[in-house]
Structure 1
Amino acid sequence: MPKKLVALIILLVGFAGLMSGTLFKVAEPVQAVVFQFGDPRRVIQEPGLNWKIPFIQDIQYFDKRILNLDPQPAELPLADQKRIIVDSYARYKITDPLKFFQTVQGSERAFNDAFGRILNRSVRDAIAKVGMVDLLSQKRVEVMSEIVNSVSKEAPDYGVTIVDVRIGRADLPAQISENVFDRMRTDRVQEANKLRAEGDEIKQRIEAEAEREKTVILAEARRTSNILRGQGDAQRNVVLGEAYGKDPEFFRFYRSMEAYREALGEGTSMVLSPDSEFFSYFGMRK
């Protein structure tokens, strides 16, 4: 191979290497800061191809997407001196990568530690002004607004913008939870006993009223029964009297038949004289 061709190939390879070290790509979801010997020179936030001085300048990339900040839960006091365990989190975007780098040296972990303390402090300051009931009412919106405003004021110092802040969970400490549960259980038992006693009282009152009404109804029924029975007996006596007046012999015969029916039941044995008046209608008398 001719020496000129070899030299040309070497020159081309060197040029290609030089160009590859000169050009770099910034993708859509990231932004970049160009450093020269550790000193920031340019901030690139638009996607595309860019150039740098090879061997002298280097690039550090920062995410442009929404990132999560989820510090450790903290035990915080309320306005009523009760303590709760609050698990808060935030969503943020790096809008000033140079400021972000200068503040936390470009480390998301360092940012999470530093800004996580700010988030917990803002939550503590807001929570300390309200009680547990407020966190479960419409006032929770005001509390969250105060937290967001406080955190957002600190965000520009770190080159970020706060997108959202939320309290994911607010729990009572274990010992307090047990005390609250025991108190709630005692209250429910007392309420149940009270309701049971009131129910027994109502039951006894209803039963007494029912027994009184029963006695009144039975007494009224007996009175009516006696009246009707008396009226029936009187009517019967009138009818029987009239019948006796019309045909005394038939009346005596009817009364005798009734006496036979009552006296001569199944398996009845009687010892009477044949000429007894009792058998006058049996034809046994001579």
Structure 2
Amino acid sequence: MSRILVGLIGAFVIVLAILGFSTFYTVSETQQALVLQFGEPIGEPIQEPGLHMKVPLLQEVRYYERRILDLDPPAERVILADQKPLWVDAFVRYKIIDPLHFFQTVQTEGRLRDRLGQIVNASLRSTLGNATLSTVLSDERAGLMAQIRDKVSTESTRFGIEVVDVRIRRADLPEETSQAVYQRMRSEREREAAEFRAQGFERAQQVRSTADREATVIRAEAEREAQILRGEGDGEKTKVLAEAYTKDEEFFRFYRSMTAYRKGLNSKDTTMVLTPDSDFFKYFNTMLESEGGN
């Protein structure tokens, strides 16, 4: 009899231990929980960390992450506005903010990933389908990502999650498109180089034309100054000769005659025939008579 009693007491203790373990559960700081009864949620989600109670055997606890989670869907092939195909590899960061809505719509994170991946790919196609390749590769890419994030966030709110960020990890052109784009970019660079060379040649022509024009102006100015100086010199010369004529008329006539003969005999092929009684010899005869008298 005592053995039966001991057995019953032992069984009762075991049942109490099982019930105790089934009654209490803990929620950590990185978790949030839902209490399910017969597979349906009851009460509000458990957001506070610590020790909590439930009805053993009838109720179960479903845990969800409070931390930010990552989703890395497969790369999506997108046709851009300029009809260029592009392989886009994007990722999403999100967190569960309403476990009740999350359970009622997708229940598990696996199902959420499938649904959210579809939303991300649809948002990529609709947004990038209105953008060109140059826009995707430029600084406007941040604006495109903001549009995609807003679309994904709006579509995924019903799941009880908050989309923190959507980013494009890689955007690759297919091999055949890459070669075509490379050739087009090369042609563009060559065209720009030709334009730069043409602009440089035109600029050089303008500089040379300006320099020639300025040189012509400078030469004309120099010629004008030279003419003025020659005129002033001729005037001064005439003045000096006039003064010489006034002071010594005979010498002035002699000087003018010598000047005329010098100019007339300047060429080696010139021959001049003079008579002894010409003015040229008159001055020499006068000089000889003066020396004989002395």
TM-score by length of 1: 0.62
Structure 1 position 151 matched with structure 2 position 135: no
Q: Summarize deviations over 1:87-139 as a string: whole Å, max 9, x none.
A: 242423152358538845x3x34532443133213332443345446763897
Equivalences for residues 169-184 of structure 1 within 5 A: 169=169, 171-173=171-173, 175=175, 176-184=177-185
Following TM superposition, by how much is the alpha carbon of 1:173 offset from its aligned partner in structure 2, in angstroms?
0.9
Aligned counterparts of 2:25 and 2:146: Cα–Cα separation in 1: 47
Aligned counterparts of 1:78 and 1:53: Cα–Cα separation in 2: 56
Q: Which residue of 2 aligns with 1:60?
A: 62
- Aligned-partner residue type, residue 60 of structure 1: R
Paired residues of 1:74 and 1:85 also in contact (CA < 8 A): yes
Aligned counterparts of 1:109 and 1:93: Cα–Cα separation in 2: 13
Following TM superposition, by how much is the alpha carbon of 1:215 offset from its aligned partner in structure 2, in angstroms?
3.3
Give % identity: 34
Q: Summarize deviations over 1:115-174 as a string: whole Å, max 9, x none.
A: 31332133324433454467638974884376236623xx53xx4323345343563415
Bigger mean CA deviation after superposition, 181-190 or 11-20: 11-20
- Aligned-partner residue type, residue 129 of structure 2: A
2:73 partner SS: coil
Q: Summarize deviations over 1:163-212 as a string: whole Å, max 9, x none.
A: 34534356341533453343233223212312321331232243134324
The unaligned stretches of length 5 or more in structure 1 are 1-5, 252-275, 281-285
Paired residues of 2:78 and 2:125 also in contact (CA < 8 A): yes
Paired residues of 2:22 and 2:56 also in contact (CA < 8 A): yes
Aligned counterparts of 1:137 and 1:18: Cα–Cα separation in 2: 58
The unaligned stretches of length 5 or more in structure 2 are 1-5, 253-283, 289-293
Aligned residue-pair number: 243
Q: 1:68 to 1:101 in 2, by over 3 A?
A: farther
Aligned counterparts of 1:129 and 1:210: Cα–Cα separation in 2: 53
Paired residues of 2:69 and 2:95 also in contact (CA < 8 A): yes
Q: 1:26 to 1:213 in 2, by over 3 A?
A: closer
Aligned counterparts of 1:209 and 1:115: Cα–Cα separation in 2: 68
Paired residues of 1:78 and 1:128 also in contact (CA < 8 A): yes
Q: Which residue of 1 aligns with 2:232?
A: 231
Q: 1:144 to 1:238 in 2, by over 3 A?
A: same
Q: 1:235 to 1:100 in 2, by over 3 A?
A: same
Q: Which residue of 2 aligns with 1:75?
A: 77
Q: Which residue of 1 aligns with 2:125?
A: 124
Q: Which residue of 1 aligns with 2:160?
A: 160
Paired residues of 1:123 and 1:147 also in contact (CA < 8 A): no
Aligned counterparts of 1:62 and 1:120: Cα–Cα separation in 2: 25
2:64 partner SS: strand
- Aligned-partner residue type, residue 45 of structure 1: I
Paired residues of 2:94 and 2:165 also in contact (CA < 8 A): yes
Q: 1:190 to 1:20 in 2, by over 3 A?
A: same
Paired residues of 2:35 and 2:42 also in contact (CA < 8 A): yes
Structure 1 position 100 matched with structure 2 position 106: no
Aligned counterparts of 1:189 and 1:127: Cα–Cα separation in 2: 29
Following TM superposition, by how much is the alpha carbon of 1:26 offset from its aligned partner in structure 2, in angstroms?
2.4
Paired residues of 2:101 and 2:160 also in contact (CA < 8 A): no
Aligned counterparts of 1:190 and 1:41: Cα–Cα separation in 2: 68
Q: Which residue of 2 aligns with 1:214?
A: 215
